[in-house]
Structure 1
Amino acid sequence: MTRTIADISVSLDGFVTGPGPGPDNGLGTGGQALHTWAFSDDPEERRILREATARSGAVVLGRRLFDIVDGPNGWDDTRGYGAGEVGKPAFVVVTSSPPKAVRLTGLDWTFVTTGLPDALTAARERAEAAASGSGKDLDVVLMGGGTTIGSALEAGLVDVLTLHLAPVVLGTGTPLFTGKAPRTLVRRSVTSTPAATHLTYDILR
C-alpha cells in the first residue's frame, strides 16, 4: 500500500530551519544541527535513513526547497536525498511556475503548477508505478519544506508523520506547526539515537 509520509527533522521548539533561511543558507542560522543524525556514521542512524530512502517511491517538495537543493550550494555527488544512501526516486515540485533550467539533470523532476493535492496525486502515480516495477511497497514522501508539510497536514493529506527530533532549541525560524488544524496522532514507534529521537505517528483523519 502506498502511503503519504511527511518526514522532517525538527528542533525541540518546533522549527525546521533556523532564522534567515535562503538559497545561500538553506537551513538558516543554526539549522544544520537539525540534520546531524542524517550524516552520522552511527549504525542505527544509518539504518533509519537507509530504510526510509529505500521505501521512497516519489518525493514531494516545495519550490523554495527545490531552489535550495538545485542551487549552486545544493545537492551534489556527496549530498543529496538520503545523504548518500541507496535510491533515486522521482521528485515532484509544487510551484507556481517551473524553473527555466535545472542543474540536477540526473534526477527525475516533475513540476506541478496546480497545487499540492495535484502534486501528491502525481507523486502517488509515480510511486505506484515504481512499486509495480520493483515488486515492493513504496511510499510518497513529503520532505519539505516546513510550509509544504504544514499545508499538507492542515489539509488532511498525510497518512504518517515522522519527526527526527534534534536536541537543539533554535528560538525562531520556520515553524512546522501553525495551530490552524488540530490532528489526532497515534504513536507507532520511538527510536533514540545519539543525534536525534525518531518519532513516527499514524494520523487519524
Structure 2
Amino acid sequence: MTRIIADISVSLDGFVTGPDPGPDNGLGTGGEALHTWAFSDDPDDRRVLREATARSGAVVLGRRLFDVVDGPGGWDDEVGYGAGEVGKPAFVVVTSAPPESVRLTNLDWTFVTTGLSDAIGVARRRAEEASSASGQDLDVVLMGGGAVIGSAIAAGLVDVLTLHLAPVVLGAGTPLFTGGAPRTLVRRSVTATTTATHLTYDVV
C-alpha cells in the first residue's frame, strides 16, 4: 500500500531552515546543521537515509525548495535526493507556474499548478506505477519545504511523519508548524545517533 510520508529535518526549536533562507542560501543562516546527519558515517544515520530513499516511489516538494535544488548551487551527482543510492524517484513540484527551464534535466519532474492535494494525487499515481514495476510497495515522500509539509498535515493528507531532530537551536527561520487543527501522533520508532534523533510517527 502506498503511504504519504512527510520526511524533514528540524531543529530543537522547530525550524526547518535558519534565518534568511533563499535561492543562494537554501537552508538559511546556520541551517546546514539540520542535515549533518545525512552526511554522517554513523551506520544508523546511513541506514535511515538508505531506507528512506529505497521506499520513495515519488517525491513532492514546493516551488521554493525546487528553486534551491535546481539552482546553480543545488543538487548534483554527489549531493541530492538519492545521490549515491539506487534509483531516483519521480519528483512532483507544487507551484503556481512551471519554471521556464530546468537545470536538472536528468531527473523526472512534474509541475502541478492546481494545489497540494492534486500534487499528492499525481505523486501517488506515480508511486503506484513504480510499485507495480518494481514488485514492492513504494511511498510518496513529502520532502518539504516546511509550508508544504505543514499544510499537508493540517489538511489530513499525511499518513506518516518522520522527523530528523537535529541537536541545534536556530532561534529563527522557517517553522515547521504554524498552527492549524490538532493532530494525534502515534510514535512508531526512535533512532538516536550523535547527529540526530530520528522519529517516526503515524498521523492519526
Give the TM-score category using the shorter length: over 0.9
Are the equivalent residues in 2 in contact too, given 1:162–1:200 (CA < 8 A)? yes
- 1:125-172: CA deviations, max 9, x gaps? 000000000000000000000011011011010000000000000000
- Partner residue of 2:13? 13
Paired residues of 2:6 and 2:162 also in contact (CA < 8 A) = yes
| Secondary structure of residue in 2 paired with 1:76 | coil
* Contact 1:147-1:176 at 8 Å conserved across structures: yes
The size of the alignment, in residue pairs, is 204
Unaligned runs of 5+ in 1: none
SS class of match (2:28)? coil
2: CA distance, partners of 1:139 / 1:130: 9
Q: Is the 8 A contact 1:38 1:83 kept in 2?
A: no
State the shift of 1:195 in Å.
0.4
Aligned identity (percent) is 83
SS in 2 for 1:93: strand
Q: 1:49–1:85: 8 Å Cα contact kept in structure 2?
A: no
Paired residues for 1:85-164 under 5 Å: 85-164=85-164
Residue matched to 1:183 = 183
1:82 aligns with 2:82: yes
Q: CA deviation at 1:77?
A: 1.1
CA distance in 1, matches of 2:200, 2:63: 26
AA in 2 matched with 1:88: K
TM superposition shift of 1:43: 1.2
Q: What's the RMSD between the two structures over aligned residues?
A: 0.7
**2:93–2:111 contact (8 Å) kept in structure 1:** yes
Check the 8 A contact 1:45/1:193 in 2, yes or no.
yes
State whether residues 7 and 162 of structure 2, in contact with CA within 8 Å, keep that contact through their aligned partners in structure 1.
yes
Greater shift, 86-95 or 75-84, is seen at: 75-84
TM-score (ref. length: structure 2) = 0.99
1:32 aligns with 2:1: no
Q: C-alpha distance in 1, partners of 2:62/2:181?
A: 20
Q: 2:31 & 2:100 partners in 1: Cα distance?
A: 29
Structure 1 segments of 4+ aligned residues over 2 angstroms from their partners: 82-87
Match of 1:54?
54
Q: Give the conservation status (yes or no) of the 8 Å contact 1:40–1:46.
A: yes
Shift of 1:21: 0.2
Structure 1 letter corresponding to 2:9: S
Q: Secondary structure at the match of 1:84?
A: coil
Runs of 5+ consecutive residues of structure 2 not aligned to the other structure? none
Distance in 1 (CA, whole Å) between partners of 2:82 and 2:106 is 16
Kindly indicate whether the alpha-carbon contact (under 8 Å) linking 1:39 and 1:83 is maintained by their aligned counterparts in 2. Answer: no
Alignment partner of 1:158: what SS?
Answer: coil
The one-letter amino acid paired with 2:179 is G
Which stretch of the first structure deviates more once superposed, 78-87 or 147-156? 78-87
- Measure, in 1, the Cα distance between the counterparts of 2:160 and 2:82: 18
Deviation at 1:83, TM superposition (A): 4.4
**Is residue 69 from structure 1 mapped to residue 69 from structure 2 by the alignment?**
yes
